[in-house]
Amino acid sequence: MGTRRVVVTGMGAVTPLGLDRKVFWEAVREGQSGIGPIEGFDTSGYAVNIAGEAADFDPLQYFPKREVRRVDRFSQFAIAAAQQAIEESGLAGAGYEPERVGVYIGTGIGGLMEIETQHSKLIEAGPRRVSPLMIPKLMTNAAAGMVSIKHGFKGPSFSVSSACASGSNAIGEAFDSIRNARVEAQVCGGAEAAVTPMGLSGFIQAKALSKRNDEPQKASRPFDSDRDGFVMAEGAAILVLESLEHARSRGAEILAEMAGYGGSSDAYHMTLPCEDGSGAQKAMERALEDACLNREEVSYINAHGTSTPAGDDIEAKAIGRVFGSHAPNLAVSSSKSMFGHLLGASGALESVVCVQSIVENLCPPTINLDNPDPACGELNFVPHHAQQRPVKAVMNNSFGFGGHNVAMLFKKFEK
């Protein structure tokens, strides 16, 4: 473990609740829902027809018209969020060394829309009609590569793919690379655009999704007795992380400090979490140890909380074991109740929530928590409305298909 301190200096977001970080956060503060009927394609005949779409996203705000067709939607989201984060951080005009800035962007699935489009061309018109742009558009590393190219960042650049933990793993690995002095800054996070016919069909067949089509805004209900699955969503979130020395040298505004990163594998099942929650517990314990924080110093946990029957209670019980007598003092909420599950981008977007929680001393709500599930215990799940309270340190949990568990810790920056 390195000894250098790592801070957050910029954030960007493209989400179902808004197309920049400030609009998104205001909606989260107010407990709004971004879930609605799918507009991107015809869902007739689908058992589920709701999702969290970034419906008003216009790539022409970020690309010349001739370039839009060369970039898959997931990469478009990533490039937009990265531009927002870089502009907020002031990094672009700071005279940085390009070789000392890296780009780590996670995605669980990558260019699924491009795969579907080109497969249809192959079947309908033959192999000569498949686009030569297909491979560079669908590659999971396309987002990281394009952000590096666009901004001239020449440090390490790659994608991380660990299902719904991808964005968190990308941020965690970026954090490690800075504190171990491999780079001075990282543009990192996650992007996903899997609300497509094939993506929706696959998760429906896996019996993972809520079928509350008649009440889309009430469909995502983590920790509630009436939860029946998660709600798919799309978007991206990007953070600019820097060594404290680098941020100070250029007079950057510091939003928060990243303090710890822990991971584990359930080694149990491809889609189900380990029933005893031991993997989630170990990730949280490792993050606390990595951050050199006592459990009593943590004020808020942004839970993975997907609204699935098999996951929420397991996570809640693991939190109870990790935090023991301090658990009743915690605020624990799932912001997926508002914007749905962005798959590989979820942990990154929830990191934005965590940093904002620290900045404003506010714990965002779990909406739709009408009938708390007794199996989830007596934690303060911040039902319906945000809670204003001192926030010193925040934990962000992300768990992915394949048994991947990640916990990260952010804390209030102190000179």
Specify the residue for token string 């979130």.
237
Q: Is 341 a catalytic residue?
A: yes
Q: Is 333 helix (H, G, I), strand (E, B) or coil?
A: strand
**Cβ-contact 103, 148 below 8 angstroms:** yes
| Nearest residue to 290 via CA among 258, 266, 253 | 258
Q: Give CA–CA dist 266/32, Å, rounded.
A: 33
**Cβ-contact 81, 189 below 8 angstroms:** yes
Amino acid at the residue 248: R
Q: Give CA–CA dist 112/98, Å, rounded.
A: 31
| Nearest residue to 298 via CA among 335, 268, 328 | 328
242-269: buried (b, 16+ CB within 10 Å) or exposed (e) per residue?
Answer: bbbebbeebebebbbbbbbbbbbebeee
**Cβ-contact 265, 400 below 8 angstroms:** no
Q: Is 241 helix (H, G, I), strand (E, B) or coil?
A: strand
Active-site choice (151, 246, 341, 404): 341
Active-site choice (151, 188, 246, 304): 304
**Cβ-contact 88, 10 below 8 angstroms:** yes
**Which residues are designated catalytic?**
164, 304, 341
